């Protein structure tokens, strides 16, 4: 047996050698997109708070009111005593926004994915997932015990071929993708995927964690929409929307729903308030993409499809070097390296917010050109 301390320090040394070691940097939001990171004031192009809702005065006020009225914590899972009144309101609101019959709120998006996937499929079933889906989807797939095949990113042909070869050998089949991919910012062809799913008696689950305008997406009866409140909504928690029967079933089977404590009232109240503001303000929801498009246009990149724009550098140490360079100019743009992204595709990942100004984006572009990060 290895001594535990020795075990951990050996692991850390190995990670450091391979450039896989991650360290935490104390970061504070100042105002809008301004952050203080390791004591330094920076403009952030890293946050998922796309609409600036986390700092919104009305959202914070709603949170404080709920904290005073109810409690600091929920005290138990929703099936025991944690189902305080705000929950039903929030589930009705998100279902309404998503044009679904019903919704189920989870502790986080991560928890939703690792809970819902094993509720839907298991041994004898098949999962076909996009090659670039998020880590928590992969974890949910592993927990499910279902057969698992990845399809080439956003390739309908690849999905069709897998279905043709394998569908018949399995009982139920679940296709999994993301509305917007978190490291590339591109969109999945959801309508076409749904059509393929229907033709092959499969279900479709899509993760809308990076969705911005939180609209539409009723798509069809065998469509499951998963999402999170921790990004554009600016608060915390995950959700799943779909047919009433599906949501009923999930509430009695998803382990991360049944065996985890409900979210605190202050969080649910903040989420409700934020969603209502977003729902009533379409122009605000469009702003992050407009900013991303302005940036991609100024740099002659492929037109942005979402608020996320990657600048592929390739080499990991080069990406880190560029990130540090931008920081010297007062901009925080993270370098994303393998294993988060495939080998040889280390990148700078720019996340645009509704609160970035034209001037900030122009200044950033000027520096990227001056430092020859893009030639």
Rounded CA-CA distance 99/218 in Å is 5
Residue whose token pair is 């554009």: 232
Number of residues that bind ligand PLP (CB under 6 A): 14
Chain residues 49-108 in contact with ligand PLP, contact rule CB under 6 A: 108
CA-based end-to-end distance of the chain: 54
Quick one: CA dihedral 317, 318, 323, 329, positive or negative? positive
CB of 179 to ligand PLP, least distance (A): 9
The crossing angle, in degrees rounded to 10, of helices 57-69 and 265-279 is 150
Nearest to 179 by CA among 151, 208, 156: 208
Rg (CA), the chain: 21
Query: Which residue of 63, 119, 154, 182 would you call a contact of ligand PLP, by CB under 6 A?
Result: 182
178 contributes a contact to ligand PLP by CB under 6 A:
yes
- Please, which residues have CB within 8 angstroms of residue 192's CB and are 6 or more apart in sequence? 156
Cβ(118)–Cβ(140) below 8 Å: yes
Query: Which residue of 43, 59, 136, 250 would you call a contact of ligand PLP, by CB under 6 A?
Result: 136
Chain residues 231-260 in contact with ligand PLP, contact rule CB under 6 A: 238
Query: Which residue of 230, 266, 273, 291 would you call a contact of ligand PLP, by CB under 6 A?
Result: 230
217 contributes a contact to ligand PLP by CB under 6 A:
no
Query: Which residue of 134, 217, 272, 356 would you call a contact of ligand PLP, by CB under 6 A?
Result: 134
CB of 129 to ligand PLP, least distance (A): 12
CB of 1 to ligand PLP, least distance (A): 35
* Pick 106 or 203: Cβ nearer ligand PLP: 106
274 contributes a contact to ligand PLP by CB under 6 A:
no
* Pick 196 or 209: Cβ nearer ligand PLP: 209
Query: Which residue of 70, 110, 239, 295 would you call a contact of ligand PLP, by CB under 6 A?
Result: 110
Angle at 85 between CA 81 and CA 86, to 5 degrees: 115
CB of 226 to ligand PLP, least distance (A): 8
CB of 256 to ligand PLP, least distance (A): 11
Rounded CA-CA distance 138/176 in Å is 10
Rounded CA-CA distance 112/255 in Å is 9
> Of all helices (H) and strands (E), which one includes residue 268?
helix 265-279
CB of 29 to ligand PLP, least distance (A): 17
Chain residues 196-215 in contact with ligand PLP, contact rule CB under 6 A: 207, 209-210
- Give me the count of residues in the chain: 375
Torsion of CA 259, 264, 270, 273, to 10 degrees: 70
Query: Which residue of 52, 82, 109, 256 would you call a contact of ligand PLP, by CB under 6 A?
Result: 109
* Pick 163 or 188: Cβ nearer ligand PLP: 188
- Which residue ranges make up the site for ligand PLP (CB under 6 A)? 108-110, 113, 134, 136, 178, 182, 207, 209-210, 228, 230, 238
């Amino acid at each position: 047996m290895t001594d535990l301390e020795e075990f951990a320090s050996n692991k850390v040394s190995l990670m450091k050698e391979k450039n896989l070691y991650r360290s935490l940097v104390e970061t504070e939001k100042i105002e809008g997109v301004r952050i203080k990171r390791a004591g330094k004031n920076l403009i952030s192009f890293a946050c998922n708070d796309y609409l600036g809702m986390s700092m919104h005065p009305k959202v914070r006020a709603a949170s404080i009111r709920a904290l005073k009225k109810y409690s600091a914590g929920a005290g138990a899972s929703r099936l025991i005593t944690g189902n305080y009144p705000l929950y039903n309101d929030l589930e009705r609101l998100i279902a309404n926004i998503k044009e679904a019959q019903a919704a189920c709120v989870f502790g986080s998006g991560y928890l939703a994915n690792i809970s819902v996937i094993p509720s839907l499929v298991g041994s004898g079933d098949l999962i076909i997932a996009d090659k670039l889906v998020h880590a928590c989807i992969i974890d949910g797939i592993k927990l499910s015990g279902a057969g698992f095949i990845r399809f080439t990113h956003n390739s309908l042909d690849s999905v069709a071929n897998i279905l043709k070869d394998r569908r018949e050998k399995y009982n139920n089949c679940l296709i999994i993708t993301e509305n917007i991919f978190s490291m590339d910012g591109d969109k999945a062809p959801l309508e076409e995927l749904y059509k393929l799913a229907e033709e092959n008696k499969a279900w479709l689950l899509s993760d809308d964690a990076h969705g911005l305008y939180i609209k539409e997406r009723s798509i069809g009866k065998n469509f499951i929409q998963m999402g999170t409140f921790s990004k554009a909504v600016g608060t915390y928690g995950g959700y799943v929307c779909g047919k009433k029967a599906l949501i009923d079933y999930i509430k009695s089977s998803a382990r991360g729903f049944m065996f985890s404590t409900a979210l605190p009232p202050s969080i649910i109240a903040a989420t409700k308030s934020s969603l209502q503001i977003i729902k009533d303000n379409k122009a605000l929801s469009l702003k992050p993409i407009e900013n991303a498009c302005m940036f991609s246009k100024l740099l002659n990149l492929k037109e942005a499809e979402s608020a996320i724009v990657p600048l592929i550098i390739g080499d990991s140490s080069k990406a880190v070097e560029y990130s540090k360079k931008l920081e010297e100019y007062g901009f925080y743009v993270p370098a994303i390296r393998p294993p988060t992204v495939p080998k040889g595709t280390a990148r700078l990942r720019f996340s645009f917010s509704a609160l970035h100004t034209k001037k900030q984006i122009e200044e950033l572009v000027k520096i990227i050109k001056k430092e020859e990060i893009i030639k």
